[in-house]
A and B are shown apart, each in its own frame.
Chain A
Amino acid sequence: MSLWVDKYRPKSLDKLDYHHDISKRLKALASSGDFPHLLVYGPSGAGKKTRILSSLRELYGPGVEKLKIDVKTFVTPTNRKLEFNVISSPYHLEITPSDMGNNDRIVIQDLLKEVAQTESVDFSNIVSNMKPTINKKNKFKVVIINEAELLTRDAQAALRRTMEKYSSNIRLILISNSTSNIIGPIRSRTLLIRVAAPTNIEILSVFNKIIEKEDLLKFLPKDEIEREKLLNNIANYNDRNLRKAILSFEALYMNNDIITISTPLIKLDWEEILKKLADSILIKRSVANIQHIRSILYDLLSHCIPARLILKTLVINLWEFCSINDKKYKIKSKDEVKLKIVNTGSIFDERLSLGSKDIFHLEGFTIKVMVILEKDSL
């Protein structure tokens, strides 16, 4: 049994539900048999990976799905051994070098060098021709690099060299959430493809497809308008992240006999925590609460939730709460407060990327916000 997200994942470019223009272009690229390095960016859950894998399938056929997982070991200059998972098919490799933290440069360099120096040889025709032919189509190997925005500067610089040096037999596809952390030289060496988050209507069309295939209508509201509203709510709540939306739709269905418009939506645990946190920052502006908040922050951080995501979510929550509930929090001039909060948030966001111990900066942000509110409260 697999999840709906996986079960209904389109495998070919033709079956993609939205962004048809991108699909068309990718198809054109794939049919030409060659393509440049790509930088695919867009918010998470927009379908970047799906599009890339579909175009690889277009290019190489279903062989790309015959995957194996290898564990490669690398040795750092300090003689520490690193283990690193590489997923590979005969035609491509998929790596997530940001897993290695500061050692990502070594991984990038060594691995790509190794890949680039072994020319891929096609043995599929060996029986008929008795001679391995270097298929023109398979002249290069594709390397998919996940979470490219998390690569260190060092690694990105190394990547840039590799791109130039081995461009004849290696093609890189970088996947990233935004281009802002990617250095200029790489951006200029790649073809940028932006995959935007699907609109609500597009998400609804995906939902409807699933509903049809899974025969879910009997569990959903009979009234069409109500049903649409419910689905819209799900899509909205999940920030137009398709993956998240489908998963949470499935979770909703699996845990309820019948879904009505009043059925509470599935809320992510950490997001709820951050909402409560934002609320408590606005209400309880005391030292005791700071201690309390520190525990919560430590908890979130220890669950590997990126500090910058925490900060971003907090700022958004605070912004929303200030706009909607300014009476509750006794805010005098909400626009000014909002501006100051965003300003503080951006300062500490930078510090998070510069510093190493996230807790200092997150706590600094909370206190600053508390002080802003303290000064502005009625």
Chain B
Amino acid sequence: MAVSYKPVLWNRQKKKYDQILWMGIALILGCFAIFEFLLHPTITIETLIIRATAFTAIILLHIILMIGPLCRLDKRFLPLLYNRRHLGVSMFLIALVHAAFCIIQFHALGDTNPIASVFLSNPNYQEISQYPFQTLGFFALIILMLMAVSSHDFWLNNLSPKMWKQLHMSVYIAYALLILHIALGTLQYEKDLFYTILLWSGFLTISGLHLVAGWKTRSQLRAEQNALKQEGYFEVALLEEISEKRAKAVFVDGQNIAIFKYDGKVSAVSNICKHQMGPLGEGKIVDGCITCPWHGYQYYPGNGQSPPPFKEKLATYRVKIIKDKIWINPSPFPEGTAVEPAIINHG
């Protein structure tokens, strides 16, 4: 039986993280509101809320986008990654307040449906200086909403890790939309250069950090691949090529090898069944055993041994996974030797 889901798995670190997060949010909101009120004493409370929430949400989004590359560059930033989901959901809630006040203030007083009014009230879609920038913010908010509502582990398990990851990578589309939302919106009316400098320096910081982290990851990957080549490994397949509980057969360095993917692991054994030389790679894993498609002879994927009382044994091979690629060392171990399977890391 699996462990039951909880709304939030609180622990001391998470509580501390959230306390600091909400203190930070209150500080940004408060400081911005004070400065805005001092600069524009006639500002209405609605406008103040719209501006303060917009500023806070975009600052939080920048912090969120910086955490990933910072952690790849320096492991000391890892505590920031630990509860990033709460940071993301908090950012979405603040952006939602911003959107709600915008829609109430600018679109709720006419006869048109307020949401339709976001798209229809300004039809200048062909002009850059008067572009209906609110539509860009609307689409960004939809993406952030889909990410926020799918942030619980339940969704990671039920949407599948691949789909969940793809969905959450769309934060970059939301970020691009928001940069345009601000550049074509507030910056067109704002005379103060402060916001322009802040936005573009934020964009350059995010882009720069991603480029540097990407370069570092690539260098590490190359170093790992070169090390594997020197140890006699060959790159033989992509993880996605092999279906769950199925295999891919490869010929490497004169060896006929079947690579099986099962239960988040990958193992490699000889592709030839000991019974009548059936192609094991065309079989599948049944009840935890590789099962020959010809006559159903079975072997454990981790050690190539038939389940007792049977005595058949297959040669086994070392497997490694680097990024999404499977590497095999074609030097066979003696038949029946246990080899640690390579673990599939969905991150």
Please say whether chains A and B are actual partners in one complex.
no
